[in-house]
Amino acid sequence: MNQWQQARRELSVTQALLHLMSLYLEITLLNTRLSKDANDDRAQQLRFWFPHVNFSKLRILDLLRIPLQVLWLMFFRFQVAGVVAEPPRAASYQKQLFKKQSQITSWLSAKWRLVIKPFYEAKAVNIIRAFGDVTRYGWLNTALLRILFTILAALLVAFTVTLPLDAAGQAIMLLFFWVIAVWVRDVQRRGALLMMVVLSIVVSTRYLYWRVTSTINWDDAIDTLFSMVLLCAEVYAWLILVLGYVQTIWPLSRKVAALPTDTSIWPSVDIYIPSYNEPLYVVRPTVLAALAIDWPKDKLNVYLLDDGRRTEFAEFAASIGAGYIIRKDNSHAKAGNLNHALKVTQGDYIAIFDCDHIPTRSFLQLTMGWFAQEPKLALVQTPHHFFSQDPFEKNLSVFRSKPNEGELFYGLIQDGNDMWNSSFFCGSCAVLKRGPLEEVGGVATETVTEDAHTALKMHRLGYTSAYLNIPQAAGLATESLSAHIGQRIRWARGMAQIFRLDNPLFGKGLSFAQRICYSNAMLYFLNGLPRLIFILAPLAFLLLHSYIVFAPAIMIALYAAPHIVHSYMTSSRTQGKFRHSFWAEMYETVLAWYIMRPTLVALFAPRRGKFNVTAKGGFTPKAYFDWSVSTPYIVLVALCLFGFGFGVWRLITGPTEEYLTVILNLVWVIYNLIILGGAVAVAEEAKQVRVAHRVKVKQRSVAIITQSEHVYEAQLIDYSDRGIGLQVKDTQRIKLDDKIRVVMKDGTTDFAFNATIVSCRGTLVGALLQVNSVAEQQALLRATFSRADAWVGWRHDDYLDRPMTGFSEVVLIGLRGYRRLLLQITPKMEPVLRVLAKCCRFIRSLLPHVPGEKVSNV
C-alpha cells in the first residue's frame, strides 16, 4: 500500500498499476533479492537488455515492446562481447531460457565468422598469391608469349561479351561472376582487385554490347532518337568507368626521397603566392608560414604576387621581408601573374601556393628530394588539403566524419596517375623546376585551367611528374555551394578547352597510359549532359510511353542489374576509402546542370569564357536556402514526381504485361529522386559564424602560465589564427578575462603566447591570443597550422566502405533535403512533418533494439 501511494505520486493510475505489477512479477519470476544493492544491479541488467524500455516508468505499449524484444533476443540476438561470457550470477529464469535458444544461432554465426568465412577467404588469398608468384614460371615472360596470352585473353573476353544467352543462362553466368566478386571482395591483395576490375569490365561490356546490338528501337522515329540519346550517355558512362579503372588500378604511393645531407648543395627556391582580391587576413598567414619553411635562408625567397596592387599588401610584404611583385595589367589572370614573376626572379625551383594555402614548415624538405633523384622531374604536386568545411560538409554536417569531395582526387586518382607518370599540376601546393617551365613558355595561358595544361605540355616534352600524397599545406575550402559550383564550372570549362585545343589523345610525346589518364581527367568533366539524361530517361517511358530500351523488362533487369552491381562493388573496393558509395552520384548531380552548358560551349567554341576567382574566407551570418542554385534540381524533382505519379497511374490502369517495365522505371525514378534530394539538401546553406575557422586537434598538451607564475597543464582542443580552445583540469584557477600565457611547442623549443580568457564553460576555456610581432606570428603558425604533422591523421584510412551503408547515408540525406525543401515552400507544413517524424520514431521504438544500445527519450 505504501508503495502504491509512492507510485501514484509520480504516475497515472494505469502506469502505477503496471509498475507495481511488473515489480511483483520481477520478484516472483526472477527471484531477485530486494536489497538496495541488488536492485541497482538488476535495473542495470534489465536496462541493458531492453534499452528502449524505461522500467521505472512503464507505458502501455511496453507490453508490446517487451515481448517483441524477448522474441527478437531469442532468435536473432548476436553475441555481445563481454556480456554473454559473464557467468550467470543471479540465476534468472527468463535469461536462461533465451540463452539456450540463442546458443544455436550464435553458434552458427560464430561458425560463419570464425571458420567458414576465413576458410574461403584464405582460399582466395592462396589462389591469388599463386597467380602473383611469377618466379616459378618466369620463363613464360617473353614478348611472344605475352602477345599470345593477350590475344587469347582478348578472344575469351570477346566470346564472353558476345555470347548470346537466354534469360536463365544469363542469370546463371552473372550469378557466377557475382559470387566470385563477393568472394574476393575483402581480400586485401592487388590480384583480387584486378580480378574484380576485370569482372566489372566484362559484365559492363557485355551489357553495352547487348544494348547496342539488340535493344535499339527502330520502329518509331521519336523512340529511336530517345533510344540513341540514352545509348550515347551509357557509352560515355562505360568509357569513364573503364578509363577510371585503368587510371586507379595501381596507385604508386610514392614515399619521400631524402635530400643530400650537405645543405650547401640544396637548390634555391622561389615561393610564389599569387593574390587578386583576397583580404589581407587570408593572405598574411600564408606568407608568414612560407617565410618560416625549413630551408636555408639564403636559398629561399618568398614573393607575394599582387594583382590587386594594394598598398597595404606592399607594406605588409616589406615589413616581414617578403618580395612584392606587381605588373601593369592583369592579362591572363593567375597564369599571367605567375609568368610575370617568372621573368623577374631567379630561383632554380618555384613553389606555388594559393594565397590561402598555409604551407607546413616541412614542405620543401619533403618535396625537393625527388628532384635530386630524377633529373627529368619537372613537377612535384602535393594534395590540396582543407581545414574548413566545404559546402557539402557544412550543409550536410559531415565534417571529418566522411571522406570529403576532394579526397577521391587527391587520395587516389592523382596517386593512380603517378603510376603512369601523368599526375598533373593543380595550381597550388606544388614545386616546379624552372628549366622545363620556361621551356614550355611558362604557365599555359590558352585555357582557364592553366595548371593541368602546363603539366600536359611538360609531359609532351618528355619531362616527368611526381605526386607526394602527404598533405603539406592547408587552406580554406569554398564557402558556399554557389562558390563551389563556380569553381567547378571553371575546372570543367578549362578541361573541355584543353580537350579541344591540345587533345591528349593526339599530338607528340605522350605515352599511351598518359593519354588515357589525361583524357579521363578531361572527359570526366563532360558528365553533366549524360547525368541529366539518366535522370530524365525513365520519364520517357512513364510520361511519353516511349520504349527507349527495346527489350523485355526481365532481360533489362538481368543485364543492367549486374552491370550496376559490379561497378558499384568494384568502385567501393577501389575507392571506398576515399569516397563512399553513392556519394559520387550526389556530388556529380549537384554540378550536372551547371557544368553542362560551359563544357558544351567550350567543346564547340573553346576560346570563349573568362577566368573567375573563387571566393574564400567569408562567413554566413544565418542559415538560408539558396533558391537560385537549386532551381534546376527542384524542376527535375517536380518532373520526377510527376513521372512517378504517372507511373503509379499506369500501374493501376495499364495492361498487365507492362507491370514489370513500369516497376523498373519507378525504381529508377525513386533512385533519381533520392539522389536529387541530396542535391537539394546541400542547397540549404548552414550557418557559419566564425570568420576564423577552428581546427580541432587531439592529444596535444600545452602549459598555461597564470599571472601569478603558476604553471598548469592543459589540453589543446582547437585553434584558429587568433584563438584557441583549451581543456583545463581544474576550473577554479582560470577566470574570465584572466591574462595567461600559453606555452606551445615551436619545433623543439617552447614558445609562450600571451592570451586573454574570453570564455569559460566547465573545463573548456576559450582564449584569444595576442600575437603582435612577426616572430610571434611565425612561432604561432609553426606551433599550429604549419607544424609538420598538422594534417596527419585527417584521412580515415581504416574505413571499409560497403555500398549499402553508403546508400543508406544518401537516402537519409535525400529525405532531409525534401523535408527542408517542404519547410522552405510552406513553413505551415512543419506540424505535419513533425507528426510524420514522430510516427517514424514511434514505430522505431516498437521494433527490437540491440542490447546495450543508447536510446534517447526513454
Q: Which residue has the cell 586518382?
A: 413
Copy the grid coordinates of residue 799.
574505413
Q: Are 814 and 325 contacting, i.e. CB atoms less than 8 angstroms apart? A: no
Binding site for another protein (CB under 8 A): 703, 705, 708-713, 729-730, 741, 743, 748-752, 754
Strand order in the sheet with 269-275: 323-325, 300-306, 269-275, 349-352, 430-433, 377-381, 464-467
Q: How far apart are CA 531 and CA 592, in angstroms?
A: 6
* Closer Cβ to another protein, 20 or 705, answer by number: 705
HSE-CB for 47 with a 13 A CA cutoff? 14
* Closer Cβ to another protein, 79 or 754, answer by number: 754
* Closer Cβ to another protein, 40 or 713, answer by number: 713
The single residue of 451, 502, 721, 801 carrying the catalytic annotation is 451
What is the chain's alpha carbon radius of gyration, rounded to the nearest angstrom? 32
Strands 764-770 and 723-728: antiparallel
Q: How far is the CB of 762 from another protein (least distance, A)?
A: 16
Strands 739-746 and 701-705: antiparallel
Where in 264-373 does DSSP place strands (E)?
269-275, 300-306, 323-325, 349-352, 358-359
Q: Are 401 and 407 contacting, i.e. CB atoms less than 8 angstroms apart? A: no
* Closer Cβ to another protein, 640 or 702, answer by number: 702
296 CB contacts (<8 Å, ≥6 apart)?
263, 264, 266
| Long-range contact set of residues 304-312: C-beta below 8 Å, sequence gap at least 24 | 304/273, 304/275, 305/272, 305/273, 305/274, 305/275, 305/337, 305/338, 305/340, 305/341, 306/275, 307/274, 307/275, 307/276, 307/333, 307/337, 308/275, 308/276, 308/277, 310/280, 312/280
* Closer Cβ to another protein, 311 or 708, answer by number: 708
Q: How far is the CB of 272 from another protein (least distance, A)?
A: 32
Q: How far is the CB of 743 from another protein (least distance, A)?
A: 5
The single residue of 307, 354, 415, 801 carrying the catalytic annotation is 307
Q: How far is the CB of 374 from another protein (least distance, A)?
A: 33
Asked about 730 being catalytic, the answer comes back as no
Q: How far is the CB of 776 from another protein (least distance, A)?
A: 11
* Closer Cβ to another protein, 640 or 743, answer by number: 743
Question: 726: part of which helix (H) or strand (E)?
Answer: strand 723-728
* Closer Cβ to another protein, 692 or 703, answer by number: 703
Longest dimension (CA), the chain: 98
267 CB contacts (<8 Å, ≥6 apart)?
299, 347, 348, 349, 368, 371
SS3 626: coil
Provide the β-strand partners of residue 740: 755
* Closer Cβ to another protein, 628 or 749, answer by number: 749
Residue 601 CA, chain-centre distance (Å), reads 30
Q: How far is the CB of 718 from another protein (least distance, A)?
A: 21
Q: Are 743 and 701 contacting, i.e. CB atoms less than 8 angstroms apart? A: no
Q: How far is the CB of 111 from another protein (least distance, A)?
A: 45
Q: How far apart are CA 232 and CA 227, in angstroms?
A: 9
* Closer Cβ to another protein, 135 or 748, answer by number: 748
Q: How far apart are CA 711 and CA 701, in angstroms?
A: 13
Q: CA 480, 484, 490, 492: dihedral to nearest 10 degrees? A: -160
HSE-CB for 592 with a 13 A CA cutoff? 24
* Closer Cβ to another protein, 775 or 835, answer by number: 775
Q: How far is the CB of 755 from another protein (least distance, A)?
A: 11
Q: How far is the CB of 708 from another protein (least distance, A)?
A: 6
Asked about 737 being catalytic, the answer comes back as no
Q: Are 755 and 716 contacting, i.e. CB atoms less than 8 angstroms apart? A: no
Q: How far is the CB of 61 from another protein (least distance, A)?
A: 50
Q: How far apart are CA 95 and CA 74, in angstroms?
A: 10
Q: How far is the CB of 767 from another protein (least distance, A)?
A: 15
Q: How far apart are CA 494 and CA 581, in angstroms?
A: 27
Burial class (CB in 10 A: 0-12, 13-18, 19+), 824: middle
* Closer Cβ to another protein, 315 or 750, answer by number: 750
Copy the grid coordinates of residue 212.
547496342
* Closer Cβ to another protein, 117 or 729, answer by number: 729
Q: CA 653, 654, 656, 660: dihedral to nearest 10 degrees? A: -120
Nearest to 240 by CA among 534, 609, 673: 534
Q: How far is the CB of 773 from another protein (least distance, A)?
A: 11
- Residues with catalytic function: 307, 451
